[in-house]
Amino acid sequence: MKEEKNNNIFINLAKSYQIESSLIQNYKYFSNVADYEGLGETSQLLKNISETSLDNAQGSLDYLMEYSDPDTEMPLGNTILHLESLIASETKQFTEIYPYFIKQSRLDGAEDIASWYETLEKLKRKHVEILKNELDRIKKLNIN
Amino acid sequence: MNNYNAENIEVLNGTDAIRKIPAMYIGSTSSNGLHQLFFEVIDNAIDEFHAGFAKEIQIILKKNGECCIFDNGRGIPTDIHRQTGLPACQIVFTMLHSGGKFNNDSYSNSMGLHGVGLSCVNALSRELDVKIYKNKKCFNQKFSKGKLTQKLIEIENTDNIVSGTNISFLPDFDIFSEGSSFSLEIIKNRMRELAFLSPGIKISIVDENSKNNITYQFKGGIKEYLQYLLKGKKLYNPNPIYFSNILTKQLSYELTFQWTRSYGDHTHSYVNGVSTIYGGTHIDGVKQGITKTIREYALKNGLIEKEHIENISISDVFEGLELILSLKMHNPIFEGQTKTKLNNTNISQRLEESINTDFYKILKNDSKLGSAIIQKILDTFYARVAARKASDRAYSIHFNEKGIDEEVYKKQFGERSKNWHESAVWITNDELLAKHVEHTDVKSDSIALDVCCGSGVVGASFKHKVKKVIGLDLTPEMVALAKTRLDEVHQGNVYNLPFDDNSFDLVVTREVLHLLPRPELPTSEMFRVLKPGGQFIVGQILPFNEIDAPWMYRVFKKKQPLIYNMFQEEDFRNLLLKTGFIDLKMTEYNLWESIDVWIDTVETSGLHRHEIRNLFYNASKEVKENHPFKILPSGEIMDLWRWCIFSVQKPS
C-alpha cells in the first residue's frame, strides 16, 4: 500500500473516482427521463455513456487499489480486505453520517428527507450484518 | 482439472440448451415463462390467420395442466426437408432457428421470428403431441422433453379436418416454479387482445378446470378495441381519433386514441400483433408526433401563447390518453426473445412525420375538436404547474405549532374524493376492514372516532360493534361523502382535534400517519381524546423489512408527494408506545394491489408514473427477494402490500 497522506496522486484519484461514479448515476437517471419523453435514441445514448462512465470510475479504482479505499483509507487488494473496508464504510454511514443528516433535516423542517435517511440508515445497518456474516464465512474458508 | 481436453467440452443440441438455461429463451421459469410457451404456439396460429389461411383458433386448458391449441391454417409442413432428410415439422420442433419466417415468402409480417418458439415449447414440455392436417389426411408426431418419441406417422383423420395444426403440450413442471399453472385470466386477456387485433378471427377457449367456455370474435379492429378499453371511463372528446397509413410495402400502421378524464396515460402498442409492453421506438414516434402536432396547431391558431409552447410537455399531452397503435412491419427487432420492446432505429422518425401530417389534417378540419383538445391539455398543464407549487410548498414546510399547510391537503384530497373508492383496492377491501374490526375490545354502547375518515368506510365497518361512530376529516368533499355512512362527521385538523379530553372509547384510523410530519403530535391528540382504558386501532402499510424500505420509500414518494414517513415496524411500535399507549397487539394482512390503478391519480405526475413502473421493472435482486410483486404479461404490476394493524390502549 502506497502512502496516501498529502499525496496529490491519491487525492486526485479519489476525486476522479467520485466524479465518475456520480456521473454514472446522472446518465442512468437522465436516460430514464428521456425514455419517458419519447426520446428513445437520446435515452439509449445516455445509457451507453453511463456504461462507459462505469469503466471510467473503475479505471480510477484500478489505481486506488494500490493506495487505499478513499472513504475509509483502509487497504484494498483482496476480498477479505474489501469486505473489511465496506463494513467500515457502511458502519460510518449508519453510526455517524446518516444520524447527523437525520437530525439536521428535522431541524430544517424537511421531515420527509429525514425519513429517507432513516430508511438508508437501517439498510446500512442490515448490510453490515450481511457483510460481517459473509466475512466470517470466507475467513473460515481460509482462501486469502 | 488436469485432464482438460476435448472430452470435457460439452456440446448441447438445441433443445438440451433450452432445458439447461430456459430463462434465456422464455424470460423466466416463473408463471410468465410458462405463459410464454402458450404465447409461442398462439403466435404461430395468429401468423397463419394474417397470412390469409387460418380462420379459427381453439384452445383447451385441461385439468392435468395440458394445453391444446388448434388452428385451421395450412398445417406445419410434413414433407422431407432436403438439407436434413427429416420431416420439416420435426425440424421445427427440435432445432433452434428453424422455421418459415426467415424469408418473407411464407409470412409477410410475423409475430414469431427468432425460430426458437416451437422448439422451446417442445424442449420445456414433459409431453408434446402434434397432429397436422393436410388435404384431409392427419399426421401425428410425439415428443418428450424435446426428444422424439414417435416418428411422424399418418393416422386416421377422425375429426374430418381439412387442414390445420393441433399442438397439445404438457409443460415440464420440474422446470417451472412450484405452483405455476396456466391462468385463464391471463390467457383470456391476451386472446381478447389478439381477437381485436385480428378482425374476423374466431378464438374459443375451453377451461376444463373452471368449466368456462369463452369465444372472442370482433370485426371492428382497434376501433372496437378502444371502445372496449374506454368502457366506464369519462371521455373528453366524444369521438375517437383514428387514422391508418401504409408507409411502404414493409411498414404500415393503424392508430386510434381518445382523451379521458383519468390521469395516467394508457398506451397499448403492438408490432405484428406482439404486445410491446415496454414500448420502444414506435411509441417514441407516436409521442413525438402527437405532441409536435398539438404544439403546431395550438401555435398556429393562437390557442397557446408562444412563450408557453415549449413548456407543454409530453406528460401534459398524454395525460388521460387511451391509445392503441398497431404496427405491421418486416423484420422487427425486439429487445429479448419475449419481445417486449421494439428497437428498430428508423421507425421513430417515420412515424412521427406521418402522424404529424395526418393528425394535423384532422384537427384542421375539425376546429371544435382541436380547441377542446388544446383546452384539455392546457388544463392539465396549469394543474401540473399548480401541483408542483403545492408540492414545493409542502416540501419546504417548516413545521410549527400551527401544524401543516391545510390547503395542500384539502386541494389534493378534495380532487381525489371524486373517485376515492376506485383509486386503490385497499380502500374498500372487506377482509382488510374486517382485520381492523376484529381487534375491537370495547363495549357495545361505546362512542368511536374515525380520524381522517375519508369517505367513512373504516368507521362504518365498526358500526355494528359500537353505539355511535363520529368521523373527522380536513376536506369538505370527504366530509360530505362520510356523512352518508357515519352518524356524525366534523371537519377538522388532526393536529388539533376539535373534541374534549377523554371523549371517546375507541379511535380508529388507517394509512394516515405517514402523510403527516411529526406524527407524534397527531397520535398525542388521539391519546388525549380517548377515555382512560380506551382503545386505538390503526392500520398502516409497512415495508417487509429494512431491505425493501428505501425502494418502497421511492415508489410511495413518487406516487404521493405528501409522504413524510416510511415507517418500519419498529418505528411504528415506538411511535405508539412513546405516545403513552400500552398493551400493543399487531396483526398482519397481505393484500395484492394494482400499481397501475393506484398511480392513476391526480397527485402523481406522468414522469413519476413512468419512474414507478421502472422501479418495479428494474428492482434489484435484493429487493425482489424481500418484497413480492408480479409483472403480468400485459405489463400490469401487482404489488403485495404488508398491512400491519395495531391495537393499543390508553392506560386506565
Reported as a single tens digit per residue, the pLDDT across B307-363 is: 878 788 888 899 899 999 999 998 888 886 556 889 888 899 999 999 999 999 999
Q: Is A60 helix (H, G, I), strand (E, B) or coil?
A: helix
**Residue B503: which of B518, B516, B490, B514 has the closest Cα?**
B490
Given the DSSP bridges, would you call strands B637-649 and B530-542 parallel, antiparallel or unpaired?
Answer: antiparallel
pLDDT-derived band at A126, boundaries 50, 70, 90: very high
Report chain A residues whose CB lies below 8 A from the CB of B288. Answer: 38-39
**ipTM metric:** 0.92
Of the candidates B145, B43, B153, B17, the one whose C-alpha atom is nearest the C-alpha of residue B89 is B153
Integer CA distances (angstroms), B160 to B78, B128, B134, B356, B644, in order? 18, 22, 11, 52, 60
Gap between the Cα atoms of B487 and B570, Å rounded:
35
DSSP string, B447-507: EEEEET-TTSHHHHHTTTTSSEEEEEES-HHHHHHHTTTSSEEEE--TTS-SS-TT-EEEE
Q: A10 to chain B nearest CA, in Å? A: 32
Q: Nine-digit cell at B74?
A: 395450412
Report CA torsion sign: B74, B75, B80, B83.
positive
Q: Do domains A8-64 and A79-141 have the same CATH topology?
A: yes
Output phi, psi for A42, to 5 deg: -65, -40
* Residues 6+ away with beta carbon under 8 Å from B356: B289, B292, B293, B296
Chain A residue at shortest CA distance from B312: A37
Cα(B648)–Cα(B652) distance, integer angstroms: 12
Please tell me which residue of chain B has the smallest CA distance to A31. Answer: B611
* CA B31/CA B33 separation, integer angstroms: 5
- Cα of B291 to nearest chain A Cα, Å: 10
Side chain identity, residue B215 = T
CB B608 within 8 A of CB B595: no
The amino acid that residue B124 corresponds to is L
- Residue spans of beta strands (DSSP E) within B145-265: 147-155, 164-171, 202-207, 212-216, 241-248, 251-259
Strands B56-61 and B137-144: unpaired
A20 Cα to chain B: minimum distance (Å): 22
- The residue in chain A having the minimum alpha-carbon distance to the alpha carbon of residue B566 is A115
Give the Cβ contact number of residue B524 at 10 Å. 15
| Assigned C-alpha cell, B189 | 386477456
- Cα torsion angle, A54, A56, A57, A63, sign: positive
Cβ contact, residue pair A126, B550, below 8 Å? no
Cα–Cα distances in Å, from B251 out to B34, B101, B209, B354? 32, 17, 42, 12
Other residues' Cβ atoms within 10 Å of the Cβ of residue B55: 14
User: Pairing mode, if any, of strands B504-510 and B530-542?
Assistant: parallel
Scanning every residue of chain A, which has its alpha carbon at the shortest distance from the alpha carbon of B316? A37
CB within 8 Å: A35 and B610? yes
Residue B150 near residue B141 (C-beta atoms within 8 A): yes
Q: What is the 3-state secondary structure (H, E, C) of B552-614?
A: HHHHHHHHCCCCCCCCCHHHHHHHHHHHCCEEEEEEEEEEEEEHHHHCCCCCCCHHHHHHHHH
Contact between B568 and A122 using a beta-carbon 8 Å cutoff? yes
For B:493-522, CB contacts with A below 8 A are 517-518
CATH top class, domain A8-64: mainly alpha
Which residue, among B169, B44, B26, B55, has the nearest Cα to B99 in the 3D structure?
B44
Q: Of B318, B321, B461, B292, which Cα lies nearest the Cα of B384?
A: B318
B174 Cβ contact partners less than 8 Å away, ≥ 6 residues apart: B126
Beta bridge partners, B538, equal B509, B646
Test the A interface: residue of B295, B356, B548, B565 with most A CBs within 10 Å: B565
The SS3 call for residue B132 is: strand
Residues of A in contact with B397 (CB under 8 A): 109, 111
Interface test with B, best of A35, A112, A113, A129 (most B CBs within 10 A): A112
Nearest to A111 among B314, B545, B564 (CB): B564
Inter-CA distances, B26 with B118, B124, B273, Å: 11, 10, 18
Q: What are the residues whose beta carbons fall under 8 Å from the beta carbon of B370, sequence distance 6 or more?
A: B297, B301, B303, B363, B364
For B608, the grid coordinates are 413519476
Residues of chain A contacting B, Cβ within 8 Å: 32-33, 35-41, 108-112, 115-116, 118-120, 122-123, 125-126
What residue spans define the domains of chain A?
A: 8-64, 79-141
Number of H helices, E strands in chain B: 21, 21
**pTM (2 decimals)?**
0.80
- At residue B246, the pLDDT reads 95
Give the helix ranges, DSSP H, for A2-110: 8-36, 40-64, 79-92, 98-107
Bridge partners for B214 per DSSP: B205
Between CA B432 and CA B430 the distance in angstroms is 5
The residues of chain B scoring below 70 in pLDDT are 1-14, 97-116, 178, 336-339, 387-403
Q: Is B621 on the interface with A (CB under 8 A)?
A: no
CA quadruple A68, A69, A71, A73: dihedral sign: negative
Three-point CA angle B358, B359, B362, nearest 5°: 90
CATH fold label, A79-141 = Ferritin (1.20.1260)
**How would you class B156 by CB atoms within 10 Å of its CB: exposed for 0-12, middle for 13-18, buried for 19 or more?**
exposed
Query: What pLDDT sits at residue B110?
Result: 56
The confidence score (pLDDT) of residue B86 equals 84
Task: Give, to the nearest 10 degrees, the angle between helix B347-365 and helix B367-395.
Answer: 120
Location of C-alpha cell 391519546: B527
- Nearest CA distance, A116 vs chain B (angstrom): 7
Distance CA B451, CA B497 (A): 9
CB–CB of A110/B563 below 8 Å?
Answer: no
Q: With beta carbons under 8 A apart, name residues in chain A contacting B614.
A: 32
